[in-house]
DNA sequence: GCGCCAAACCGAAGGATCTTCGGGTTCTCT
DNA sequence: AGAGAACCCGAAGATCCTTCGGTTTGGCGC
């Protein structure tokens, strides 16, 4: 289903998404045309979802990284849908995962400073169904990658 | 420090990292050469860290997304350094953040299935300084992006 | 062994793209 | 007004993409 050459291509593209096809082919030990054909099929079959530029949060005024655990009121079944909808409307929420365990949602945020974080907390408390939140500011990013193990 | 044109370029590149310079210039309403010059400076000044292909975790046999909170023994000061070092050696750990709050580290994992997760837990328990862990399997990914708000 | 087929590969070539360069425009400050 | 900086444009050679026909490789049945 996925040859060793394909994996090598994906591994390289995870690190250098804008590498030229020539360079990619050279590193994989094949011709550009063969490499391009593999690449085309990988994208067609859904292995590659897209490409993204990785920006520097600090340079762009978003140095604060914060995780927030959110617990909802379980009064109605629509609460989860409404909360998820509200999350999509807030760009500072980079990630939002519904989890099994002691709480309902785990949020990942990028923020300029503590003041804007304070304002966000009041907005969060007003979002539909929110009963309780616990915040965890990130002190040090030991590992922060988009790369999957292959 | 960062013009409106620059922001527009960054916004587009976050969504489509492999867009051609021609297309990018057209969408920003400028000539390809002007656009390329801005792009070059954005990269040079550290606003753009790099580019990455976004792969499909399910197609690549890593459908499980799990967060784990880790608490360490505070016996020695080296514990944090040793733990961070061990984390770097495990590719299934996609992210690792040292946080302030009720625990010490928050891990984000990609896993093939519950069996491999079970084996990982034993490895995790054997990592230096680990006292306690709490796992939160992700049921639904409401939002999972790399895009920063601009 | 032998022929057949599919899959993968290669190299060439036309078309598209990148990237540099010289020059023009706009704006500000003196 | 004049100088200079910052920004922009269009042209042109170099590079790259992408398609195409032909070749090799590796099964598979006869």
Q: What are the domain boundaries of chain A?
A: 4-44, 64-137
pLDDT of residue A20: 92
Q: Quickly tell me which residue has 């916004």 as its tokens.
A: B11
Q: What are the residue ranges in chain B where pLDDT is below 50? A: none
CB contact under 8 Å between A98 and B142, yes or no, is yes
- Confirm or reject CATH 3.30.70.920 for domain A64-137, answering yes or no: yes
| d(C-alpha A49, C-alpha B144), whole Å | 13
SS3 for A80?
helix
Asked if pLDDT for residue A145 goes beyond 80, the answer is: no
Asked if pLDDT for residue A150 goes beyond 90, the answer is: no
Asked if pLDDT for residue A135 goes beyond 80, the answer is: yes
pLDDT of residue B145: 76
CATH of range B4-44; options 1.10.10.10, 3.30.1490.20, 2.60.40.1180, 3.40.50.280: 1.10.10.10
Neighboring chain A residues of B128 at a CB cutoff of 8 Å: none
| d(C-alpha B90, C-alpha B101), whole Å | 25
pLDDT of residue A116: 96
Q: Would you give the DSSP letter of residue A120?
A: H
Nearest to B101 among A62, A93, A136 (CB): A136
| Model pLDDT for residues A56-109, shown as the tens digit of each residue | 999 999 999 999 999 999 877 799 999 999 999 999 999 999 999 999 999 999
| d(C-alpha B110, C-alpha B99), whole Å | 20
Q: How far is the CA of A52 from the C1' of C30 (A)?
A: 46
What is the percentage of chain A residues whose pLDDT exceeds 70? 99
- Nearest residue by alpha-carbon distance to C1' of D8: B34
Q: How far is the CA of A33 from the C1' of D19 (A)?
A: 9
| d(C-alpha A20, C-alpha A116), whole Å | 41
CB contact under 8 Å between B55 and A67, yes or no, is no
Q: Is the dihedral of CA B20, B24, B27, B33 positive or negative?
A: negative
| d(C-alpha B37, C-alpha A145), whole Å | 28
Candidates A11, A41, A49, A55, partner chain B, best to mutate (most B CBs within 10 A):
A55
Q: Would you give the DSSP letter of residue B115?
A: H
* Angle CA A75–A78–A82, to nearest 5: 115
In Å, how far are A74, B4, B24, B28 from B31, measured between CA atoms? 54, 16, 9, 9
């Amino acid at each position: 289903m996925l040859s060793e050459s394909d994996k090598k291509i994906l591994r390289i593209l995870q690190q250098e998404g804008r590498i030229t096809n020539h360079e990619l082919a050279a590193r994989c030990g094949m011709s550009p045309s063969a490499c391009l054909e593999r690449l085309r099929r990988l994208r067609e079959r859904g292995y590659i979802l897209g490409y993204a530029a990785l920006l520097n949060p600090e340079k762009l005024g978003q140095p604060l990284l914060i995780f927030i655990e959110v617990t909802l009121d379980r009064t109605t079944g629509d609460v989860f849908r409404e909360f998820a909808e509200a999350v999509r409307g807030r760009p500072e929420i980079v990630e939002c995962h519904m989890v099994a365990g002691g709480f309902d949602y785990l949020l990942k945020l990028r923020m300029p400073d503590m003041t804007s974080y304070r304002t966000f907390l009041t907005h969060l408390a007003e979002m539909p169904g929110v009963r309780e939140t616990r915040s965890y500011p990130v002190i040090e990013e030991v590992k922060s990658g988009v790369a999957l193990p292959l």
